[in-house]
A and B are shown apart, each in its own frame.
Chain A
Amino acid sequence: MRTLLTVFLKEVLDNFRDRRTLMSALIMGPIFGPILFAFMINLSIDRALDDAESTMELPVIGQEHAPNLIRFLESRNIDIVDGPDDINTAGDAVKSGEHDVVLVVPAGFGEQLADTIPAKLELYSDEANSQGEKEARRTRSAIRAYNQQLAMIRLSARGVNPRLLSPINIDEVDVSTPSGRSAMLLGMMSYFFIFALLMGGMYLTIDTTAGERERGSLEPLLSLPVTRGQLILGKIFAACVFMAASLMLSLIAFYVVLKFMPLEQLGITPNFDLGVVAGAFFLLLPFILLGASLMTLVASFTKSYKEAQTWLSAVLIAPTLPVLVVSILTLRPQLEFMFIPSLSQHLILVDMVKNEPLNGLHVLISVVSTLVFGALLTWACARLYRREGLLG
């Protein structure tokens, strides 16, 4: 027990003095998620506001041929500006990026309308350009509304009830709650937490395995009258402490960021109060042992510090895979999923953020199965540490 404690305390002290470990554990890992998240939320708020309220400019060639259409567009917050002089250059102007969209009203537009022939308009846009695609969509929907208005007037003029044109009317009822909608956006949060906690232990696990071997300090250590199992356990527990600190910081950083985000503007109110912060911490705690032993195991197989770094970067991505598969297939939480570490934490965390009642059995299975995986990997590390090949 004293050996374990000695190793643990030494690793904590040693790594606490290592600027690189400290940076990745206490700054990079915890801050990376919230910053990226704040950035993305801001972007989507900007875009959402853009669509609804802002006025857009629409270059139109041949405005004089359709004064009513122009007026209608202007009433829809679309500013009409002069397009290129020549109809033939409209396509080129869009292609060159001078304009995102150009609407062309041919000379015969008014006559065709009067003769009740489908009147032709031309809309030039570059659908590969996301801004152009958005403006074209908005223009199209405005013109479609104008089209419908004209059709109704025509039918009324002929004594036909315009309602005949819409035999079915769909009433959509969205039952999602503001917290529920936030889950989609906040679903990636769980990954940031797992990422932060893995980052917290990454350099430490490299340092205590490949690093110790590369430095030449492993061999004298192994020649001491202690069992290797105690050495490796002390090292894994030290990594766990850094990972827990990293996780805690990451949760707090998210808590702070969400406080300052105008999420109501997106119509979402995530349930992320201090209670959820604490709940998430305890939910992810078992994953720390799993992560620490997994990284130690992988780093033990590598020949050098650099090689360990490469492999552990891959380990950082591994926990996303089950989460990714489930979100692509849009699967609902099921009992079986709770046996899969990272996925079970993700699903339970999403439920927490959605403010839905937690399934106690799910939480229990998640905690126990993750702990069992962690214990198995720790055992595997201890086995591996007994190999002669460890010295490389």
Chain B
Amino acid sequence: MIKVDGIHKSFGTVHAVRGVSFDAPDGKITGLLGPNGAGKSTTLRVLYTVLKPDQGTANIDGADVVSDSLAARRNIGALPHGAGLYPHLTARENIAYYANLCGIDKSEVDDRVSSIVKLLEIDAFADRRTKGFSQGQRTKVSLARALVHDPQNVILDEPTNGLDVMATRSLRHLILKLKDEGRCVLFSSHVMQEVAALCDDICIIANGQVAIDDSIDGIRERTGEDDLEEAFVCATKMVGEE
């Protein structure tokens, strides 16, 4: 369960996030949708605690991301945008490194890594060094290592970027599987269709503000547009350009 309450974040003179609030409940997929530069990544980076909000609060299963960031991180599996692997380590070693860092019991690390390797179907290349992996393979390994400590909340920043159709499909199945396990999945995208296909709730962000936060049907209703793309454009305009 992720709760975000009125967070602001500026970089120098750029006011990237201006009072974003939303809830992402367990057992549901919440999509953060918005054009490039809308503040999606900044919001997510606040949630996985690499940035501190200037104002407002956010908590992960009740743990504040600023005052109790270690506890918050314990309940998050994060896949940052463009996450990189260690090219000299094998996929399995990359995942095991994170498992060890997360404090998984030493005797269980191997089992844990093997089961996540199987879950994400990366057996075929698990023992190869990650140098030269395709984007799809890299994303899967990054996701595997983010999930290795079995986090209740999963944050994915534009995970389908650069993936081909097959890789996108298999990632979609995975995300649905995470939802079925009762986890809270929060994922950002600028691709309308993708969000529509997956998400239970959609939070449209533009200009650092939340334009609409509702279910897909709710959004259609509120914008008066049947076509989701039109609804997206309409919602974006609600916030307005400055």
> A residues engaging B (CB < 8 A)?
2-3, 6-7, 10, 13-15, 17-18, 215-217, 219-227, 388, 391
Q: Write the chain B residue with the least CB distance to A14.
A: B88
User: Please, how many angstroms separate the alpha-carbon atoms of A217 and B48 in the complex?
Assistant: 14
A220 contact from B78, B103, B149, Cβ within 8 A: B78
Kindly supply a per-residue 1/0 record for chain B positions 154-184, scoring 1 wherever the CB is within 8 Å of any chain A CB and 0 otherwise. Answer: 0000000000000000000000000000000
Given A2-B103, A224-B98, 4 other A-B residues pairs in contact with their CB atoms under 8 A:
A219-B83, A220-B145, A221-B101, A225-B102
Q: What's the minimum C-beta distance from B218 to chain A, rounded to whole angstroms? A: 31
Q: A2-B100, A3-B101 are in contact. Are A223 and B49 (CB under 8 A)?
A: yes
Q: Write the chain A residue with the least CB distance to B145.
A: A220
Instruction: Tell me the dominant secondary structure on chain A's binding face.
Output: helix
A223 contact from B50, B71, B85, B100, Cβ within 8 A: B50
B84 part of interface (Cβ distance < 8 Å): yes
| Contact between chains at B89 and A14 (CB < 8 Å) | yes
| Contact between chains at A223 and B70 (CB < 8 Å) | no
Q: Write the chain A residue with the least CB distance to B51.
A: A388
Contacts of A391 in B (CB 8 A): 50
Q: What's the minimum C-beta distance from A203 to chain B, rounded to whole angstroms? A: 12
Contacts of B146 in A (CB 8 A): 220
| Contact between chains at A17 and B88 (CB < 8 Å) | yes
Contacts of A17 in B (CB 8 A): 88-89, 129
User: Please, how many angstroms separate the alpha-carbon atoms of A388 and B54 in the complex?
Assistant: 12
Q: A226-B101, A391-B50 are in contact. Are A215 and B74 (CB under 8 A)?
A: no
B76 part of interface (Cβ distance < 8 Å): yes
| Contact between chains at B73 and A224 (CB < 8 Å) | yes
Q: What's the minimum C-beta distance from B212 to chain A, rounded to whole angstroms? A: 28
| Contact between chains at B101 and A7 (CB < 8 Å) | yes
For window 169-224 of B, CB contacts with A under 8 Å fall at none
| Contact between chains at A219 and B50 (CB < 8 Å) | yes
B62 part of interface (Cβ distance < 8 Å): no
B100 contact from A6, A217, A219, Cβ within 8 A: A6
| Contact between chains at A217 and B83 (CB < 8 Å) | yes
Contacts of B89 in A (CB 8 A): 10, 13-14, 17
| Contact between chains at A223 and B101 (CB < 8 Å) | no
Q: Enumerate 29 A-B pairs (CB-CB under 8 Å) in ascending A order.
A: A2-B103, A3-B101, A6-B97, A10-B89, A10-B93, A14-B88, A14-B89, A15-B88, A17-B88, A17-B129, A215-B87, A217-B84, A217-B86, A219-B50, A219-B83, A220-B80, A220-B84, A220-B98, A220-B142, A223-B50, A223-B76, A223-B78, A223-B80, A224-B101, A225-B70, A225-B103, A226-B73, A388-B51, A388-B52
Contacts of A6 in B (CB 8 A): 97, 100-101
